[in-house]
Amino acid sequence: MAIPPPRNGAVIRYAYLWREEKERGLIEARKDRPAAVVLAHKDAATGRIVTFVLPITHSPPADLSVVVEIPADAKAHLGLDGERSWIVCDEINRFSWPGYDLRPIPGARPARWEYGMLPRGLYEQAKALFLDCRKRGRAKVADRD
């Protein structure tokens, strides 16, 4: 299956590696999960598409200032489960698209790796929080290349 370029605001199935896992020396994620493409751009020097994804988790956040809760209607639109979920905006995986960590959505026929697009307002909220975390030095980036 040909993989088109990433779209800012897309939710993809991805083998997300938490920064603390990378710091422990892990190179493979423990599990696949939905992740939001918060920023993708072509690097003029290398020609590669640098992609930043934020993890989506069911785990209740310890710090509400770095997460955006996904409303139930947005989760339903994306085909995600009904449990509460948050986009974690201070944890980032950076990789060259498409990389090795895109995963097919379980049970999707035909096979695909993109759930769909976040509603624009939700995407803008997550992006603004991500950029704020980066500006304040709170963003934990795990390079996956």
Tokens matching residue 39: 């920023």
The token pair at 82 is 């009904």
Query: pTM for the whole thing?
Result: 0.96
Average pLDDT of the chain is: 96
Q: Does residue 94 surpass a pLDDT of 80?
A: yes
Element of type H or E holding 124: helix 120-135
Strand partners, 94: 52, 143
pLDDT above 90: residue 91: yes
For residues 17 and 35, the answer to whether their CB atoms sit within 8 Å is no
Q: Is 137 left (phi over 0), alpha (psi -120 to 50) or beta?
A: left
**pLDDT value of residue 2:** 77
Rounded Cα–Cα distance for residues 70 and 123 (Å):
10
Number of other residues whose CB lies within 10 A of the CB of residue 124: 12
Q: First and final CA of the chain: distance in angstroms?
A: 22
pLDDT surpassing 90 at residue 1: no
Please tell me which residue, 119 or 1, carries the higher pLDDT value: 119
pLDDT digits (tens, 9 = 90+) for 111-137: 999 999 999 999 999 999 999 999 999
Q: How many CA atoms lie within 13 A of 73 on its CB side?
A: 2
